[in-house]
Structure 1
Amino acid sequence: MKDAPLRLGVLDIGSNSAHLRIADLAPGLPPTGVRSVKTAVRLAEATDRHGVIHRPAVGRLIGAVRESVASAAALGVGELIPFATSALRDAANRDDVVGEVRAATGVRLGFLTGEQEARLTFLAARRWRGWSAGPLLLADIGGGSMELAVGAGERPDIALSLPLGAGRLTRHHLPPSPPVPKSTRRALSAHVRSVLKEATLGIAQLPPPATAVATSKTFAQLARLCGAPKAKAGPYRERHLDRGELRRWIPRLARLSDAERTALPGIKASRARQILAGAIVAEGVMDVLRLDRLAICPWALREGLFLHRLDALVEGRDPEDLPEHSPVVLRDVHLRAVP
């Protein structure tokens, strides 16, 4: 790898937003953040029960990709990795949407499998926590899916992706507005635990991890709600999510409107509606895996992609060679080729 750092952009198309992160990558150093640009796309709320994403959201997505490409070009990004997670990956009209985005912007969106998401996020958490963390368990709640991974190295021994995203469960299991009846909460909690118990049999047979960590906005906001330091305190402040405190918040969240939830510490308006489902999933994970608390890790999937790309450059590997080969791979987009 040349001495000059590579300026890399990662464009993450999620359930609610398109998030561009730009960082400089250099050997021996962590990714150095340059800029973060987030644009609302609201794919999840525009997806019907048949899994079809409707027109207004496709237009928002095209606009977000154009804005991201322009921002990346203005900041001298050499390569852009654009990818979509479960909201678009699982859509019934995925190929049509991807085709429209490419025709309008010149950018071909790639996809990660859920397992790849889990593995890359685990890599980020391992690098952040270091080897002193010992065997590591990772939990990440997204809009459409939840990822779990566990292992003693940089690559997990087990990596799972489950259909327990906060947005997905909110749409399918909760009423459109509060209050949420206790019977409904109990039914959702039972569903979450049923999925987790079946999926995590392999994890349950392993020795307890030395460190259990959580990433994602959902976990970070729940931790803040339960008393963790504010974001402005900086990334190096220790933050934890306590299961007992979280359990006490769930009935209150069920009573509050979206506006009232937004007034609570840490809860953003964009996630207010789905924060109850996120809390039920988080509490279910901690219950099934017998965890009293989770340490909040500020690095997640996007940082995992930065680190993987940096490792590939340093080691001279194919940058598309993701952990655990998959027929669905990310494509680098060279910005000079984009109209």
Structure 2
Amino acid sequence: MRLGVLEIGSNTVRLAVADEHRGVPLPVHSSKRRLRLAEKITDDGRLPPDAVEQLVEAVDGLRRESARWGVADPLAVATAAVRGAANQQHVVTQIHARTGLCVNVVPGDVEAGLTFLAARNWVGAQAGSMVLLDIGGGSLEIASGRGRTPGFTVSLPLGVARLTREYLDHDTVPAPEALRRVRRRVRHELRDVADRMQWERPRTALAASRTFHQLGRLCGAAPSRQGVFVPRELNRHDLKAALRLLAERSAPARAELPGISHARARQCLTGAIIAHTAMRCLDIGTVVLSPWECVKALCSHNCRDAVRSGLSGGCQCRPARRNPGGFPSRSAELPAARHLTRESPPHEAPGRPLTRWWFTKPGGTPRPSSPA
């Protein structure tokens, strides 16, 4: 089965087309448009009209490209930049009106759960208890668990684009005090998560994001041209040395280093601070770099059904108790914008694995979905 996912992220809009074979997404085609939405958010938290226009044009172009590759209706998801925008509803309505695509606005903890699922599918059960770090443009997602789905997920406002805009929004060599302010911000946000990880004690740590992969390349990991099956790791001590190297250089000079692109030269220093501080706070010495992330999980037929059916008809999607049968499948007409919520039903503890869904009509009573 050929599937397509269109992800609206904080830095880029990406299209991934894959053939699903026994649950494995085999890549067919990928494309992206770099928009840097997180850097264009105004002081009042809105995406300006010119940014919305660029986004609509990018989505429409990728939709037509997806159709040429055999997927006329790709699954469209939006993460931190659109999720946090004050005019979120206007943005997704404009996309739907002009492209016909229904945008799924995915909360950060659900995004963390999907990325965890993709990473778990990549490394398998041999990894044991696992923690996952995912640095995006607008947020840092952390998930941990012992099974296929996470038992704990959290999304923190620690994205590279967000903190770069707030603390390091220039191309010159940064002042030491500016770097200290970023570290203090990251440590402050991670305090409660660090306490939880002391109890979890995961056996394996994974990282899945472009930021981590660029830092891994800078620290000696194999280049991407060698393929996804080459093992790649990032050591905290190596990252500390790379952090010093990045801090001593201006943004144009950083782009001359291995693995650092011109487009991410300004953000890579912020990403290194977030990654190193997070690894230190969570007592992680080495992370395995996973080539699979949230988009790969959404290339699974079951995950697509969960997102689409759980968000249909104006329903809210809520995690409920474990269901060995997997995600449910329901067909219904899709609205212009749909939202997932992390709230648990009254009789359930929060943070349970997202393997079954609760559907709540506005003003209605929660009812469990039927198994797939």
Q: Could you tell me the TM-score, scaled by structure 1's length?
A: 0.89
Percent identity, aligned pairs only, is 39
Structure 2 residue corresponding to 1:40, chosen from 28, 34, 43: 34
Q: Does the C-alpha gap of structure 1 residues 311 and 62 become closer, same or farther in structure 2, counting only changes over 3 Å?
A: closer
In structure 1, how many angstroms separate the alpha carbons of the residues matched to 2:327 and 2:88? 33
SS in 1 for 2:298: helix
After the TM superposition, which residues 145-164 of structure 1 pair with which residues of structure 2 at under 5 Å, given as runs? Answer: 145-164=139-158
After the TM superposition, which residues 60-75 of structure 1 pair with which residues of structure 2 at under 5 Å, given as runs? Answer: 60-75=54-69
Q: Does the C-alpha gap of structure 1 residues 142 and 228 become closer, same or farther in structure 2, counting only changes over 3 Å?
A: same
Q: Does the C-alpha gap of structure 1 residues 124 and 239 become closer, same or farther in structure 2, counting only changes over 3 Å?
A: same
Q: CA deviation at 1:181?
A: 0.9
Which aligned runs of 4 or more in structure 1 are off by greater than 3 angstroms?
A: 310-316, 319-328
SS in 1 for 2:19: strand
In structure 2, how many angstroms separate the alpha carbons of the residues matched to 1:210 and 1:133? 7
Q: CA deviation at 1:29?
A: 4.7
In structure 1, how many angstroms separate the alpha carbons of the residues matched to 2:31 and 2:276? 31
Q: Could you tell me the TM-score, scaled by structure 2's length?
A: 0.81
Q: CA deviation at 1:311?
A: 8.6
In structure 2, how many angstroms separate the alpha carbons of the residues matched to 1:89 and 1:236? 33
In structure 2, how many angstroms separate the alpha carbons of the residues matched to 1:214 and 1:114? 16
Residue 52 (structure 1) aligned with residue 46 (structure 2): yes
Residue 249 (structure 1) aligned with residue 249 (structure 2): no
Aligned position for 2:297: 304
After the TM superposition, which residues 1-339 of structure 1 pair with which residues of structure 2 at under 5 Å, given as runs? Answer: 5=1, 7-26=2-21, 28-77=22-71, 79-206=73-200, 208-307=201-300, 309=302, 317-318=328-329, 323=355, 325=357
Q: Is the 8 A contact 2:75 2:304 kept in 1?
A: no
In structure 2, how many angstroms separate the alpha carbons of the residues matched to 1:317 and 1:81? 17
Q: Is the 8 A contact 1:309 1:319 kept in 2?
A: no
Q: CA deviation at 1:308?
A: 5.8
* Larger displacement relative to structure 2 (74-83 or 215-224): 74-83
- Structure 1: runs of 5+ lacking an equivalent: 329-339
Q: Is the 8 A contact 1:178 1:254 kept in 2?
A: no
Q: Does the C-alpha gap of structure 1 residues 326 and 243 become closer, same or farther in structure 2, counting only changes over 3 Å?
A: farther
In structure 2, how many angstroms separate the alpha carbons of the residues matched to 1:203 and 1:119? 16
Q: Is the 8 A contact 2:39 2:162 kept in 1?
A: no
The AA in structure 1 aligned to 2:62 is S
Q: CA deviation at 1:108?
A: 2.2
In structure 2, how many angstroms separate the alpha carbons of the residues matched to 1:311 and 1:83? 10
In structure 2, how many angstroms separate the alpha carbons of the residues matched to 1:293 and 1:110? 34
Q: Is the 8 A contact 2:63 2:72 kept in 1?
A: no
The AA in structure 2 aligned to 1:10 is V
- RMSD of the alignment, in Å? 2.2
Q: CA deviation at 1:310?
A: 6.2
The AA in structure 1 aligned to 2:50 is P
In structure 1, how many angstroms separate the alpha carbons of the residues matched to 2:327 and 2:283? 41
In structure 1, how many angstroms separate the alpha carbons of the residues matched to 2:262 and 2:64? 27
- Structure 2: runs of 5+ lacking an equivalent: 307-324, 332-339, 341-353, 361-372
Q: Is the 8 A contact 1:140 1:216 kept in 2?
A: yes
Q: CA deviation at 1:145?
A: 0.3
* Larger displacement relative to structure 2 (14-23 or 74-83): 74-83
Q: Could you report, residue by residue, the CA deviation over 1:277-313 in whole angstroms, capped at 9, with x for unpaired residues? A: 1100100111011111111000000011123636959
